[in-house]
């Protein structure tokens, strides 16, 4: 049973929904994000509403210092973390080849380097005390050719699938959560035009989180919320790459 969870990107979107749902279930939390004020506001609310312990870690996970701060919380033997939710993320509005490489480097650090380092810290800590769980928030974009973002998410999906098998003998479960379009601040922050995305493709963050946690209890390595996205992910793996790439341009 999860007693303490660390959630990155906890002040908005899917990460916020994870923090709220876990607190509702009586799980103590470590919440990580870049903005101290928003973290403290959320922490105070969850403590008051659900009587759980909530620690705050202000960290920019696109930096080495930020990753180290989160890693320190994961390896704290006095307050062990049973569940890591690697959620923090962002995207760039432009396509690779038109963007600034400094921005691409920050994205690589945030979407690949940070979850890799936090997984490493969590696995080494959990393996020494009987196991634990990791949820890596990937994306249904991992199944499509969609530029650098989908490549990062495909990397995370692949690593999660391998780790779930490899560390099963030390009782560590790893899930790749692969949602589609979710109503959050994500697209607005990335200055992306989502006007061409039909209403039926949008999911709610709390639904995504409840699906993920249910699938984690059922030991599902890949969690794809909603039947429509399960179908789309399946089709994406069998349809011609050119067609899938053209369709996947939506939401930019």
Digit-by-digit pLDDT tens for the chain (252 residues) are 679 999 999 999 999 999 999 999 999 999 999 999 999 999 999 999 999 999 999 999 999 999 999 999 999 999 999 999 999 998 787 888 998 999 999 999 999 999 999 999 999 999 989 999 999 999 998 988 778 999 999 999 999 999 999 999 999 999 999 998 787 655 455 455 566 666 766 789 999 999 999 999 999 999 999 878 787 767 667 655 664 455 555 544
State residue 5 phi and psi, 5-degree precision. Answer: -130, 145
CA–CA separation, 62 and 60 (whole Å): 5
Q: 247: Cβ–Cβ under 8 A, 6 or more apart, which residues?
A: 144
The pLDDT assigned to 146 comes to 76
Instruction: Please name which of 138, 11, 9, 25 lies closest in space to residue 61, comparing C-alpha atoms.
Output: 9
The pLDDT assigned to 119 comes to 98
Element (H, E) at 103: helix 101-108
Instruction: Please name which of 13, 60, 55 lies closest in space to residue 35, comparing C-alpha atoms.
Output: 60
Q: Which residues are catalytic?
A: 149
The pLDDT assigned to 181 comes to 79
Beta bridge partners of residue 86, listed in sequence order: 136
SS3 category, 129: coil
CA–CA separation, 160 and 169 (whole Å): 15
CA–CA separation, 30 and 8 (whole Å): 8
CA–CA separation, 58 and 173 (whole Å): 27
The pLDDT assigned to 242 comes to 65
Element (H, E) at 144: none
The pLDDT assigned to 140 comes to 92
Question: What tens digit of pLDDT does each residue of 58-76 get?
Answer: 999 999 999 999 999 999 9
In this prediction the pTM is: 0.89
Does residue 11 contact residue 38 with C-beta atoms inside 8 Å? Answer: yes
What is the maximum span of the chain, computed from C-alpha positions, in angstroms? 52
Q: At 3, list the tokens.
A: 């007693």
Does residue 74 contact residue 122 with C-beta atoms inside 8 Å? Answer: yes
The architecture CATH gives domain 4-247: 3-Layer(aba) Sandwich (3.40)
């Amino acid at each position: 049973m999860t007693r303490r969870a660390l959630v990155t990107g906890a002040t908005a979107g899917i990460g916020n929904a994870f923090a709220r749902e876990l607190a509702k279930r009586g799980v103590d939390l470590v919440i990580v994000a870049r903005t101290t004020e928003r973290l403290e506001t959320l922490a105070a609310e969850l403590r008051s509403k659900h009587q759980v312990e909530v620690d705050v870690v202000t960290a920019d996970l696109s930096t080495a210092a930020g990753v180290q701060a989160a890693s320190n919380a994961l390896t704290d033997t006095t307050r062990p973390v049973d569940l890591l939710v690697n959620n923090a993320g962002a995207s760039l509005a432009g396509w690779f080849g038109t963007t600034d490489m400094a921005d691409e480097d920050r994205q690589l650090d945030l979407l690949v380097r940070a979850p890799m380092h936090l997984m490493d810290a969590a696995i080494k800590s959990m393996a020494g005390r009987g196991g634990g769980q990791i949820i890596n928030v990937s994306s249904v974009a991992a199944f499509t050719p969609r530029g650098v973002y989908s490549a990062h998410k495909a990397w995370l999906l692949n690593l999660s699938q391998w780790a779930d098998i490899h560390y099963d003998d030390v009782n560590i479960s790893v899930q790749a959560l692969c949602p589609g379009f979710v109503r959050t601040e994500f697209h607005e922050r990335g200055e992306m035009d989502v006007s061409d995305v039909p209403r039926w493709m949008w999911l709610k963050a709390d639904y995504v989180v409840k699906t993920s946690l249910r699938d984690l209890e059922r030991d599902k390595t890949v969690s794809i919320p909603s039947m429509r996205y399960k179908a789309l992910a399946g089709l994406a793996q069998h349809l011609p790459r050119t067609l899938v790439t053209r369709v996947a341009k939506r939401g930019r």
